[in-house]
Amino acid sequence: MTRHPVKVLVLAVAAVLVGTTAGAQAPRKPKVALVMAGSVSDKGFTEGAYNGLMRVKEELGLETAFSENVARADMVTAFRDYATRGFDVIVGHGFPTADALARVAGEFPKQYFLNTYGGISGKNIAVLDCRWEDLFHVMGHLTGLMTKNGKVGIVGGWEAPGIRLQVESFRRGVLEARPSADVQVIYTGTFYDAVKGKEAARALIGQGVDILAHMADQSGLGVIEAARENKLMAVGYFQDQRKLAPELVVSSAVIRSGDMIFLKVKEIMDGKFEAGRFVYGLKEGVLQVGPYGDFVPPAVRAKIDGMVADIKSGKLQIPPMDMNELMKMKIRKL
């Protein structure tokens, strides 16, 4: 795991994880809560975090709780409720939860707060992030090898920095594999509307694309549905989405958010905690090229598998992007 500089949190973990029974101290397992903006049935982003929580429950034997479909206006209340109820580790999944989590973390300095993909910091906050360039460059390269007419469509969700980075990394990967490719991108402005995702996909289909990719979570379900209806190839997102259209999904950009959450909770159980930002990638297995569709040629599979191996070994390095320049780029919105 690659670490950014972090400030070591000097807290007595035992004080949090030890309870008092009949005048004598007895170890108490931590309780873990998860707050999510999306639905656990989204087949992607949110479901992955929920799976991680279930792994915490089943493998570590901890008491867990979760809240899904939490509106931004209600997030402070959700986090504060869990903290007040004595949950020791409280997780906010995704950057929409970050500001509310940071606010409540400041109010409860003896409890631990984890956030995925946010831009926050605090003495009792660990942010779990990924090196998106590596995975999405590879997925774009795969798409460039698979397109027949050289026209590729990408549907993004919110035009947030992380999503823009994923989209642009994917676009550059396509062009590396096929320099003459025409890559068109539309942002829906939401992660939670499959109808808008399908509308964006249809607009791209009208421009002649023969393969669709999405970085749009629940909205992306509409993208894959449009691909299925039009018998076009598709690239899944966050989880293996071949089951949505097994005859058409080339592969999926798999991000195992739940693994990051599980590993951090286990560290807390072991009496270890560091505040700061922790970045995971292909090498750690958090980012993965998902299983290939049966129709993907062996030569293409070998090429992509080789790229992944070279990134893991350090032989191939995908340059990081300048986020300031990336955010200045004009985008097309639905």
Q: Which residue has the tokens 């998860």?
A: 34
Per-residue pLDDT of the chain (334 residues; tens, 9 = 90+): 444 443 333 333 444 444 433 344 446 789 999 999 999 988 889 999 999 999 999 999 999 999 999 999 999 999 999 999 999 999 999 999 999 999 999 999 999 999 999 999 999 999 999 999 999 999 999 999 999 999 999 999 999 999 999 999 999 999 999 999 999 999 999 999 999 999 999 999 999 999 999 999 999 999 999 999 999 999 999 999 999 999 999 999 999 999 999 999 999 999 999 999 999 999 999 999 999 999 999 999 999 999 999 999 999 999 999 989 999 999 999 9
299-320-263 Cα angle (round to 5): 85
Report how far residue 262's alpha carbon sits from residue 54's, in angstroms, rounded to the nearest whole number.
9
SS3 209: coil
| pTM: predicted TM-score of the whole model, two decimal places | 0.86
Residues 209/153, Cβ–Cβ less than 8 Å:
yes
- Amino acid identity of 294? D
SS3 189: coil
Domains of the chain plus CATH, in order, are 2-130+256-280 (3.40.50.2300), 132-254+297-328 (3.40.50.2300)
